[in-house]
Amino acid sequence: MKIEKIHESDEKLSFVLGGINFSFANTIRRSVYEIPVLAIDTVEFYKNDSALYDEILAHRLGLIPLKASKTFTSREECSCKGKGCMKCTATLKLKTKGPRTVYASDLETKGCEIVFKEMPLVFLSQDQELEFSAEAILGKATEHTKFSPGIVWFRALPEFSIKGCDKCLKCIEICPKKAIILKDDTLTIDQMKCDMCEACVELCSEHRNAISIIPSQENFIFYVESFGQKTPREIFAEALEVLNDNLKELAKVVK
């Protein structure tokens, strides 16, 4: 197995993971949706004069990415037995009056932090009031997508081969991604740019049929994009932990 980083920033990470197969790559991707993430789960409205119904506003609140300021336990595993306590619940509240736009930063939080403070939630007209309290808990994206830490996708690395080329170089022109390069008198591709559209293969099939591009069966480019609660590196590492835990559990059950 080998890993090679392509790009890393606070929100995005991409790398090539080699020496695995498609099923394994997909298992890692799916494990991301089992990473426990904090999100608003219940909202109690005391006053809502806004144009949005309670349900719509609660749905918007659920989608606000929250960063836990301490370690939380899931409700099912908590000593409070699902009633909700400091160990398993972060609380948020808001009380405001229009005219104004209510932003995520207006929420008063306890136990968590709002990642994107400038997210608009609702607009309040003159004298319209909004007051609610909310509870955020740990959950998994397999239960509800609001508990996603980000998205992970992958694609097979394209494998390029050329045989019997007469160097007409028309493939360089037709490639929409400008992925075909002439280097030291030989044609090659930039594997990161090529999206396997096969425009070059089609063009060449009418000419010399020299180009073939096939998806690799063991090398994959992974892309991790964070929603802000965790770094992309943490997302990938935690996905592997989740996978490991699931396999350990399975081994225990089998025994």
Which residues make up the interface to Zn ion (CB under 5 A)? 78, 80, 85, 87-88
Assign 54 to helix, strand or coil. helix
Nearer to Zn ion, 82 or 120 (CB): 82
Question: Least distance from C-beta 78 to Zn ion, angstroms?
Answer: 3
Q: Report the distance separating Cα 188 and Cα 202, nearest Å.
A: 17
State phi, psi for 54 to the nearest 5 degrees: -50, -45
Nearer to Zn ion, 78 or 92 (CB): 78
Nearer to Zn ion, 80 or 237 (CB): 80
Question: Least distance from C-beta 66 to Zn ion, angstroms?
Answer: 17
Distances (CA, A) of 73 to 31, 38, 96, 111: 19, 10, 31, 12
Nearer to Zn ion, 57 or 78 (CB): 78
Sign of CA pseudo-dihedral 135, 139, 142, 148: positive
Q: Report the distance separating Cα 47 and Cα 11, nearest Å.
A: 36
Question: Least distance from C-beta 68 to Zn ion, angstroms?
Answer: 14
Q: Which two tokens stand for residue 124?
A: 């309040």
Sign of CA pseudo-dihedral 82, 84, 89, 93: positive
Question: Least distance from C-beta 18 to Zn ion, angstroms?
Answer: 43
Q: Report the distance separating Cα 246 and Cα 255, nearest Å.
A: 14
- Of 106, 112, 84, 103, which Cα lies nearest the Cα of 93? 106
- Of 64, 192, 44, 38, which Cα lies nearest the Cα of 132? 44
Question: Least distance from C-beta 136 to Zn ion, angstroms?
Answer: 13
Question: Least distance from C-beta 75 to Zn ion, angstroms?
Answer: 6
Distances (CA, A) of 184 to 20, 170, 212: 32, 17, 20
Nearer to Zn ion, 75 or 230 (CB): 75
Question: Least distance from C-beta 36 to Zn ion, angstroms?
Answer: 14
Nearer to Zn ion, 14 or 133 (CB): 133
Nearer to Zn ion, 51 or 86 (CB): 86
Q: Tell me the one-letter amino acid at 87.
A: K
